[in-house]
Amino acid sequence: MAGEPQRRSNWTLAAYAAPCLPLAGLGLPLVVYLPEFYASELGLGLAQVGFAFFMVRMLDMAFDPFIGGVMDRTRTRFGRFRPWFAISAPILMLATAMLFMAKPGVTTFYLWTWLVVLYAGVSISSLAQLAWGAALSPEYDQRSRIYAWWQGANVVGIILVLTLPAILPKFGIVGHRAAVGAMGWFVVLLLPLAVALAIWRVPEPLVVKKAERSGFSEYFKLLRRPTVTRLLIVDFLVGTGPAITGALFFFFFVRVKAFDKTTASLLLLTYFIGGLIGAPIWTKLAYKIGKHRGLAISGLFYAAVTLGTYAMPAGNLPVAAVMMFLAGLPYSAGAFLLRAMMADVSDEVRLETKIDRTGLLYALLSGTVKIGSAAAVGITFPVLAMLGFDAHAKSGTSGLAGLQAMFTFVPAGLALAASAIIYGYKLTAHRHSEIRTALDAHDLAEAAPEMASDPKFVEEIHPVTRPAE
């Protein structure tokens, strides 16, 4: 071993996680607010909106292995991932402005065009940040800590965005369209500041080893690995359930549970407050029993509470608030534990292949997120339309039984399946320790200090002593 792995300071991890505030402020409305906004407020058809969100996410999946491979091959004095993270910011700012500040009269072509640009920026930023985080520490539990910071900042960003509809009326700004526009401004103004802070304060390992070929063939080779396949299946199941409830949230609470949109927004805020409080709980549990077992328990808890919302009395705000808080407690577990587990898989892959595929591995993980969120809108919206649900109607019971079943039974079933699949996961803390020991021995033998267990960072290497490319 090359010594104890370095523990990144809380300030470093806070800077790393800071861009999650605006990025989460973008991600939540993309699933919860924007589809409903374009269908209800801007006059596009429910099926048209669902199809646009679904197909753009599917098209975007082909972009992930390309950009992930490019990142793995990138060699700059600033690192592999930080330059790409910086590039993503202006792309996201432009697309956010066009989508969130749209006015009635927009066409489906307009929606398609700017969704393509937006999701390209989302792909670049998410892959760069996640792969960057995997490189910050090689240690099993430290990776849980890194991604817990990442997920905690995501939840804080979501909470900040959700407070906007409640705060804006105090300044004389009213209406659903104004609230969506304010969410766009939140992203546009905060993103460049947060990205600049991360790039300034967070180091990245200096890689001087020659870049290996990295493309679609390598992407599909990784996909065939049993450990990778299991994580991807679980990530799809864990992510799709909340994506479905998110896409249907306002329909469910306004039409089935008889709340207005402002109250429903407060319930959504309560849900994410539960997620923020739950993050350290699942981190500590992962330390004690392992990431995979902690994840399995979180899925069982989520399923139980989600099923309980079926019987929740309509119009009862205290009961609804308690249920949403409980449903939110396991929200963070899947997101950060699976990403920490994929970082461990990157070590397993490098030990067996002698090639770093971190970017491609997170491209795979990004793909399952996109399939799940696309399915949440692209499948559920057309199904609701087939069941007779009218998004523009203000009253009536047509399609409400199907809406209630899709909001409760489907996500609960997906969570139970995920818990069953992940429980027998083999890449435990003990197995990862063996992998790291073997990697350290290999790295020392190959005289590759940039890949050792205590890697050098670009800020820590003087230009005079930096190894030649």
| DSSP-assigned states of every residue in 301-359 | HHHHHHHHGGGPPTT-HHHHHHHHHHHHTTHHHHHHHHHHHHHHHHHHHHHHHSS--HH
CA 97 from chain centre, in angstroms, equals 21
Per-residue model confidence as pLDDT tens digits over 202-213: 988 766 555 555
Report how far residue 448's alpha carbon sits from residue 467's, in angstroms, rounded to the nearest whole number.
10
Determine the pLDDT at residue 88.
94
Average pLDDT estimate for 226-250: 88
Determine the pLDDT at residue 196.
94
Given a cut of 50, whether residue 466 has pLDDT beyond it is no
Residue, of 219 and 222, whose pLDDT is higher: 222
Given a cut of 90, whether residue 325 has pLDDT beyond it is yes
How many residues comprise the chain? 469
- The tokens describing 385, both together, are 């339309």
Running DSSP on this structure, what letter comes out for residue 458? G
Average pLDDT over all residues of the chain: 82
Report how far residue 326's alpha carbon sits from residue 271's, in angstroms, rounded to the nearest whole number.
7
Determine the pLDDT at residue 206.
66
SS3 457: strand
Domain annotation for the chain: domains and CATH numbers = 10-444 (1.20.1250.20)
- The tokens describing 400, both together, are 């409400």
Percentages (nearest 5) of helix, strand, coil residues in the chain: 75, 0, 25
Per-residue model confidence as pLDDT tens digits over 326-378: 999 998 888 889 988 998 998 888 888 888 788 788 888 877 877 777 777 77
The DSSP element (H or E) to which 42 belongs, if any, is none
CA distances 400 to 50, 183, 390, Å, are 18, 29, 10
- The tokens describing 143, both together, are 């990776």
The DSSP element (H or E) to which 216 belongs, if any, is helix 216-223
Report how far residue 414's alpha carbon sits from residue 419's, in angstroms, rounded to the nearest whole number.
9
Report how far residue 354's alpha carbon sits from residue 361's, in angstroms, rounded to the nearest whole number.
15
8 near 140, Cβ under 8 Å?
Answer: no
Average pLDDT estimate for 404-430: 91
Helical axes 140-167 vs 261-289, angle rounded to 10°: 170
Given a cut of 80, whether residue 92 has pLDDT beyond it is yes
- Terminus-to-terminus CA distance in the chain, angstroms? 26
CA atoms within 13 A on the CB side of 326: 16
Per-residue model confidence as pLDDT tens digits over 101-130: 888 888 889 999 999 999 899 989 988 998
CA distances 95 to 89, 119, 161, 188, 447, Å, are 10, 9, 18, 9, 45
Given a cut of 60, whether residue 237 has pLDDT beyond it is yes
Running DSSP on this structure, what letter comes out for residue 259? -
CA distances 72 to 80, 84, 361, 460, Å, are 7, 11, 10, 21
- The tokens describing 462, both together, are 């003087």
- The tokens describing 171, both together, are 């300044």
Residue, of 94 and 452, whose pLDDT is higher: 94
The set of residues, in sequence order, having a beta carbon less than 8 Å from that of 428 and lying 6+ positions away, is 290, 292
The DSSP element (H or E) to which 2 belongs, if any, is none
Determine the pLDDT at residue 3.
42
Determine the pLDDT at residue 217.
67
The set of residues, in sequence order, having a beta carbon less than 8 Å from that of 324 and lying 6+ positions away, is 267, 268, 270, 271, 274
160 near 29, Cβ under 8 Å?
Answer: no
Q: Picking from 157-161, 299-303, 340-344, 355-359, which range would have the lowest pLDDT averaged per residue?
A: 355-359
Closest listed residue to residue 204, CA positions, set 102, 299, 133, 103? 133
Per-residue model confidence as pLDDT tens digits over 251-293: 888 888 888 877 888 888 899 899 889 888 998 999 899 999 9
pTM (predicted TM-score)? 0.74
The set of residues, in sequence order, having a beta carbon less than 8 Å from that of 343 and lying 6+ positions away, is 133, 134, 143, 147, 358
- Residue 22: which pLDDT band, with cuts at 50, 70 and 90? very high
89 near 192, Cβ under 8 Å?
Answer: yes
Report how far residue 33's alpha carbon sits from residue 179's, in angstroms, rounded to the nearest whole number.
10
Burial 180-207 (b: 16+ CB within 10 A, else e): bbbbbebbbebbbebbeebbeebbbbbb
